[in-house]
Amino acid sequence: MRGRANTELTPELVLALGRAFARVTHSKRCLVGRDTRLSGPMLQSALQAGLCSEGVDVVDLGVLPTPGIAWLSGDLDCPAAVISASHNPFFDNGIKLFMAGGAKLADEQENTIEAELASLLGTSGQPPDIALAGPASTTTDSPPPDLVAGSECVTQPGMEPRTHADRIGNLTLDEAGSTRYVDHLTGALAGQTLDGIKVVLDTANGATAALAPVVFRRLGADVIHLAGDPDGTNINERCGSTHPEAMTREVLAHGADAGLAFDGDGDRLIAADGNGKLVDGDETMAILAADLAARGLLARSCVVVTVMTNLGFHRAMDSLGIRVLQTDVGDRYVLEALEKEGLVLGGEQSGHVILRHLASTGDGMLTGISLLGVVARTGRSLADLAAGSMKRFPQELVSIAVPDPSALHGAHRVWAEVDQVHAELDGEGRVLVRASGTEKVVRVMAEASSAALAGEMANRLAKVVAEELGIRPDGESVEEASESSPATGGAFQAAGL
């Protein structure tokens, strides 16, 4: 659940979510942590209140990366919740829920929680008002009929009564959780160190700010720390994995061996080599897959990626005899495939990399440790490892605003054009057209032997998508444009991944 804090994602809504989560999990205990956003303490308090009101004991972990909270959920075998909007700006916030064991919710579990939440919210979209019994009205000898005598809480239709006062959950602070998580991270290299490696850490003024320097210094690295002074509003602001420019500049300025940029909640990583060249999730997975395979640790000689993973990655894995499984976009689908197939490595181009033998979700610090571990173990620079890991195909992404993304499924002309483009590329590229699951846009991705060809194919398909799904190149719907003068500007926004 994600939205603008205090307007879309309100304390009342989050309190009801806490109640719904408690009712579905039936757990006696739940862990709760957050990132560094200004709205974090407010929303964490609301979620904890909802949980406690249903009789759940809550362990407040304070500020801790999402993967740290997920790991503790697995270690303690109890559900967990994270107050974070990941890489979004500070004014957004969100709730991430984990079942006992640190696993993300399955679809049926999400549906059950949503149904319970809808029941609690009634028809208003917010929890109904709660009337507290008090003195009799000054104008009548009897209390209003919807109040119960005494001090019990009475709810309006749509909200069931809470637990009795003697069964309210207890709230405790856990200051040892971060220490245990740090110990877990520093033990990931099984005694190996990062001695002699100079690294720039960009912690995005987020949840990794206090821990990342401790972790990497304990492993022996020489650390230069950026964006490590969160003030509640500067999380992800021109820093972190979505804005790695400052990190690359500092890598060059300090002659560092590598740079590691995390996002606000610490579950993704974008790296840079000693030349300041970015190393994304595809290249990171290629390096890790080759290393694990060489050491006989890549289970079933297979990795899991999403449909957005670069064609060059597939070619590189094929040359090493490593099988690639492909899922829809989303780290939850990657994790599901890893668990179903008993595999250990998967991830996304965006920097979500899951090392399933060490974590139940993407962990930026763990990924960075593992990546630098390959550097230390092989004696090769990250630049050398990245250059040899895969040959990237130029990739172009175009997003087209549409009224109804689901209409893409029946857009036969679009799919006919996709088939034609694939035939023209003849194995030396590919295209992908998909409806966004979170926005009213259709995304067109094209890969080809040259950036010019990738851009040509992407925009060619985007034009067909716009024509078929009711959007003109000026961004107006066909119906609206027929009654208005032509506008300047374009609806197609292209960005290389």
Q: Which CATH number fits domain 279-365+374-389: 3.40.120.10, 3.40.50.10490, 3.40.50.10090, 3.30.56.10?
A: 3.40.120.10
Average pLDDT of every residue of the chain: 87
SS3 content of the chain, % helix, strand, coil (to 5): 40, 20, 40
Q: What's the pLDDT tens digit per position in 271-303?
A: 999 999 999 999 999 999 999 999 999 999 999
Q: Which residue has the higher pLDDT, 221 or 128?
A: 221
Residue 459, φ and ψ in degrees, nearest 5: -75, -30
- Judge contact between 330 and 338, C-beta under 8 A: no
- Give 407's pLDDT tier (boundaries 50, 70, 90): very high
Q: How far apart are CA 449 and CA 297, in angstroms?
A: 33
Q: Exposed/middle/buried for 200, CB within 10 Å: 0-12, 13-18, 19+?
A: buried
The pLDDT score that the predictor gives to residue 127 is 53
Among candidate residues 86, 360, 389, 399, the one labeled active-site is 86
**How many percent of the chain have pLDDT more than 70?**
86
Give the strand pairing for 430-435 and 493-495: unpaired
pLDDT tens string 423-433 = 999 989 999 99
Averaged pLDDT, 354-364:
95
Asked whether the domain spanning 395-495 has the same topology as the one spanning 180-276, the reply is no
Domain ranges in the chain are: 2-173, 180-276, 279-365+374-389, 395-495
Q: What's the rounded mean pLDDT across residues 421-449?
A: 91
Residue 148 has pLDDT above 50, yes or no: no
User: In which band, very low, low, confident or very high, does the pLDDT at 493 lie, cut at 50, 70 and 90?
Assistant: very low
- At 156-196, the pLDDT tens digits run 434 455 666 778 999 999 989 999 999 999 999 999 999 99
CATH 3.40.120.10 applies to domain 2-173: yes
Note whether 340 and 420 are within 8 A (CB).
Answer: no
Q: First vs last Cα of the chain: how many Å apart?
A: 25
CATH for the 395-495 domain, from 3.40.50.360, 3.30.390.30, 3.30.310.50, 3.40.640.10: 3.30.310.50
Q: Where are the beta strands (DSSP E) in 52-140?
A: 57-63, 80-83, 92-99, 103-104, 130-132
pTM of the model: 0.84
The verdict on whether 86 is a catalytic residue reads: yes
Q: Which CATH class is domain 180-276?
A: alpha beta
pLDDT > 60? residue 476: no
Model pLDDT, residue 24? 94
